[in-house]
């Protein structure tokens, strides 16, 4: 592909970076294991290696077909603004001059979502965070990651980006399904509110770790209505996955587009959706062969990247 063709493409990505924690103990969250004296013995050396690993992947996503790394990349499982500052300032990324948007949530483990963006590609107009209000059976509130909403201009188009990290399946798929359906309903409500308050016809990019596949109830029946297109569905039907969960491949990491990206007036033309997975990002042998090479497997430090592969979509600039 020629250089001119490369310069005419841009990518938008999402990556669950799996526990990007600093080494300091936050007294207000349950992050004790990510300290030098915690059960994971999370030291500065390990933290610096994690930053090197994640930044190296971000710098390469989509660059087999584009001239630069993603214009926008949503992140899940980041602890705070400090780790984002360290990540964007890493030698692997500093030349790309990423800025970031982050709000502290009330998540019990101290994990948040965030957005990195290249300010020469994406102009931020506003940003806000929305808390999910989940309650246990006894009426106790369950604090989790917020929904991040960012409004901006991407190659001349008004775009809202919604970054998600929904309820995990740790307590079982069936038991937690209602929370993900509730989250999908909440996101749809926010989309309708935005549409009602915007005079223009904004585009939407919904991204995140949904802990559900494109075929799951929360995504298929509640989130992706007739006004949206899920380019990850085709990948899922071809048995491609972004993580291996209990021996099965899943595509929990998704980027979903509003259908007005396909209008003639759109300045961006969708090309394809992809999963970024290189051989060196995978476990090379044993029963987990081919799965993402993660930082820890149980209590054993492996020094890898994440338990998820990043996903991305490619657009042609008209």
Q: Is the pLDDT of residue 142 over 90?
A: no
Whether the per-residue pLDDT at 96 is higher than 80: the answer is yes
* pLDDT value at residue 1: 39
> What is 224-284 written as a DSSP string?
--TTEE-THHHHHHTT--SEEETTEEE--EEEEEEGGGGSTT-SEEEEEEEE---GGGB--
Predicted confidence at residue 135, as pLDDT, reads: 86
Pair 163, 209: CB distance under 8 Å: no
Task: Tell me which of 194 and 286 has the higher pLDDT.
Answer: 194
Mean predicted confidence (pLDDT) in 67-79: 97
Given a cut of 70, is residue 3 above it in pLDDT? no
Helix (H) / strand (E) element for 192: namely: helix 173-197
Q: What percent of the chain has pLDDT over 90?
A: 85
Domains of the chain listed by start with CATH number: 3-317 (3.60.10.10)
Rounded to the nearest integer, the mean pLDDT of the chain is 94
The pLDDT-based confidence of 118 (bands split at 50, 70, 90) is very high
pLDDT band of residue 145 (cuts 50, 70, 90) is: very high
- The mean per-residue pLDDT over the stretch 252-260 comes to 98
State pLDDT tens for residues 270-313: 999 999 999 999 999 998 899 999 999 989 999 999 999 999 99
Residue 75 predicted with pLDDT over 80: yes
Rounded to an integer, the average pLDDT of 122-137 is 94
Residue 73 has pLDDT above 70, yes or no: yes
Nearest Cα neighbor of 180 from 211, 140, 206, 208 is 211
Check residue 2 and give its pLDDT: 44
Q: Could you tell me the pLDDT band of residue 54, with boundaries at 50, 70 and 90?
A: very high
pLDDT number for residue 60: 97
pLDDT of the residue at 5: 52
Q: What is the per-residue pLDDT across 157-171, written as a single tens digit (0 to 9) for each?
A: 999 999 999 999 988
Distance CA 20, CA 16 (A): 9
CB 35 within 8 A of CB 24: yes
pLDDT of res. 137: 82
Strand 72-78 relative to strand 9-20: parallel, antiparallel, unpaired?
A: parallel
Tens digits of residue pLDDT in 205-228: 999 999 999 999 999 999 999 999
- 88-116: average pLDDT: 96
């Amino acid at each position: 592909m020629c250089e001119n063709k490369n310069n005419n493409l841009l990518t938008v990505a999402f990556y669950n970076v799996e526990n990007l924690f600093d080494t300091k103990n936050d007294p207000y969250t349950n992050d004790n294991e990510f300290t030098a004296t915690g059960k994971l013995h999370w030291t500065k050396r390990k933290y610096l290696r994690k930053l090197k690993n994640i930044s190296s992947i971000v710098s390469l996503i989509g660059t087999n077909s584009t001239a630069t790394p993603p214009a926008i990349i949503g992140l899940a499982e980041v602890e705070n603004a400090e780790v984002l500052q360290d990540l964007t300032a890493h030698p692997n990324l500093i030349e790309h001059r990423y800025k970031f948007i982050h709000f502290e949530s009330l998540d019990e483990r101290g994990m948040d979502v965030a957005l990195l963006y290249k300010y020469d590609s994406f102009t931020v107009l506003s940003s806000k965070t929305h808390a999910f209000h989940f309650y246990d059976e006894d009426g106790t509130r369950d604090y989790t990651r917020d929904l991040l909403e960012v409004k901006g201009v991407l190659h001349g188009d008004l775009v809202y980006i919604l970054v998600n990290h929904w309820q995990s399946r740790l307590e079982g798929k069936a038991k937690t399904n209602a929370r993900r359906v509730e989250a999908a309903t909440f996101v749809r409500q926010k989309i309708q509110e935005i549409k009602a308050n915007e005079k223009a016809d904004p585009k939407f990019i919904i991204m995140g770790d949904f802990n559900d596949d494109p075929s799951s109830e929360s995504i298929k029946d509640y989130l992706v209505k007739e006004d949206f297109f899920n380019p990850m569905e085709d990948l899922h039907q071809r048995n491609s996955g972004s993580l291996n969960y209990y021996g099965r491949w899943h595509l929990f990491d998704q980027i979903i587009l509003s259908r007005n990206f396909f209008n003639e007036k759109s300045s961006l033309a969708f090309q394809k959706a992809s999963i970024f997975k290189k051989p060196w990002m995978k476990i090379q042998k044993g029963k987990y062969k081919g799965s993402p090479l993660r930082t820890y497997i149980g209590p054993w430090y492996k020094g890898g990247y994440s338990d998820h592969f990043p996903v991305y979509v490619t657009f042609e600039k008209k």
